[in-house]
Amino acid sequence: MKPREADPALFARWESAVAFRLFGDAPVPTLTVPEQIAAQLGDRILDGRLPPGARIGEQELADEFQVSRGPVREAIRILEREGLATILARRGAIVTELSADELREIFEIRAALFDTVARQVAAERPPELLAVLRAGVQRLEELATGPHDGDAYAETTY
Model pTM score: 0.53
- Residue 16 confidence (pLDDT) above 50: no
d(CA 129, CA 108): 25
Residues 14 and 133: their CA atoms lie apart, in Å, by 10
Smallest CA-to-CA distance from 19 within 88, 130, 117, 142 is with 117
What pLDDT score does 24 carry?
53
Distance CA 53, CA 98 (A): 10
Reported as a single tens digit per residue, the pLDDT across 78-97 is: 999 888 899 999 899 999 98
pLDDT-based confidence at residue 18 (cuts at 50, 70, 90): very low
